[in-house]
Amino acid sequence: MPNCKSTAQSLSEWFATPQGGYVLEREQAYFDRTVSDIFGYNALQLGLPEQDFLRSSRMPLRFSAGNQLGNAVRLCCTELPFASASLDLALIPHVLEFSEQPHQILREVERVLMPEGSLLISGFNPRSLWGMRRMLGCKKCYPWGGNFIALPRIKDWLALLGFEVVGGRFAAYAPPFQQAKWLERCAFMEAAGDRWWAVSGGVYFLHAVKRVHGMRLIKPQWNEGLVSKLLPVAPKMNNKITQRSEADPQ
């Protein structure tokens, strides 16, 4: 069984290690590329305030929120203090696997997103070398203490909440080595992984859009000729107006 040498007490601390930096580099590249093509006014990053994953967004209001110090808004992720349908983009990096109520977080995100609003998710893939490392190693330090959620399960949750997955990808195909030199030697596995074993990346990304289907009134196709035959004909009114004279009976 591998011995865990990491002493990181938070995901941000782990990102500062060579192993975490390898993952962070790929996450930042994905979010930079994706958020730049999403338009709107209000963008939220939930968690990890030390990492500015919204730096390439063109939205005028971009802020981080969570229960850690350093967030612009301190809150509980399962009860977001924002109005319904008020945000255009929500980005949640590795929030779900470190929460006891991941589905409730998604419910709240769905509530605060506007129709056609975007949701970006990153998570560790349990069906990868990184997931195997978690199963065989120590679970007392980050990120191995998290509950890695399989991608099909996340997609099921999103579908139940009315989201449509419109994009995504995998990354971090190299084994979870702790030394930077070994990670560099496995750099060739990134291109090979995308081509040969795409679903085995250590990290996955999802881009989902909130769909709200409008109600449309469907009118019946009336046969006007048949309707005119079935309806009773109204009697013609006599247009002659009689004038009452003094001789008329009162």
Determine the number of helices (DSSP H) and then strands (DSSP E) in the chain: 8, 7
Task: For CA atoms 192, 196, 202, 204, give the dihedral sign.
Answer: positive
Where in the sequence is the domain holding 130, given as residue range(s)?
11-210
Query: Across the chain, what does the average pLDDT equal?
Result: 85
Please give the helix or strand (H or E) that residue 90 lies within, else none: strand 87-93
- Over 80: is that where the pLDDT of 49 sits? yes
Please give the helix or strand (H or E) that residue 113 lies within, else none: strand 113-124
Higher pLDDT: 213 or 2? It is 213
Structural domain contains residue 4: no
Averaged over 69-74, what is the pLDDT? Answer: 91
CA distance 184 to 182: 5
Q: What is the percentage of the chain residues whose pLDDT exceeds 90?
A: 60
Averaged over 218-245, what is the pLDDT? Answer: 58
- Over 60: is that where the pLDDT of 241 sits? no
Sheet holding 87-93, edge to edge: 73-74, 61-66, 42-46, 87-93, 113-124, 203-210, 163-171
CB under 8 Å to 2, separation ≥6 — which residues? Answer: 133, 136, 137
CA distance 37 to 41: 13
How far, rounded to the nearest angstrom, does the alpha carbon of residue 155 sit from its chain's CA centroid? 10
CB under 8 Å to 244, separation ≥6 — which residues? Answer: none
Q: Provide the pairing of β-strand 163-171 with 203-210.
A: antiparallel
The least confident of 53-62, 82-91, 155-164, 233-242 is 233-242
Q: Note the pLDDT of residue 1.
A: 40
Q: Note the pLDDT of residue 87.
A: 97
- Over 60: is that where the pLDDT of 2 sits? no
Averaged over 231-242, what is the pLDDT? Answer: 54
pTM: 0.80
- Angle formed at CA 211 by CA 110 and CA 90, multiple of 5 degrees: 40
Structural domain contains residue 49: yes
Structural domain contains residue 98: yes
Q: Note the pLDDT of residue 107.
A: 97
Q: What is the CATH number of the domain that holds 72?
A: 3.40.50.150
Q: Note the pLDDT of residue 165.
A: 97
Higher pLDDT: 104 or 226? It is 104
Q: Which of 205, 182, 141, 196 is nearest to 18 (CA)?
A: 182
Structural domain contains residue 236: no
Averaged over 37-44, what is the pLDDT? Answer: 96
Structural domain contains residue 89: yes
Structural domain contains residue 197: yes
What pLDDT, in 10s, does the model give residues 81-120?
A: 999 999 999 999 999 999 999 999 999 999 999 999 999 9
Structural domain contains residue 6: no
> Over the Cα atoms of the chain, what is R_g?
30
Q: Provide the pairing of β-strand 203-210 with 113-124.
A: antiparallel
CA distance 122 to 249: 93
Give the number of domains in the chain. 1
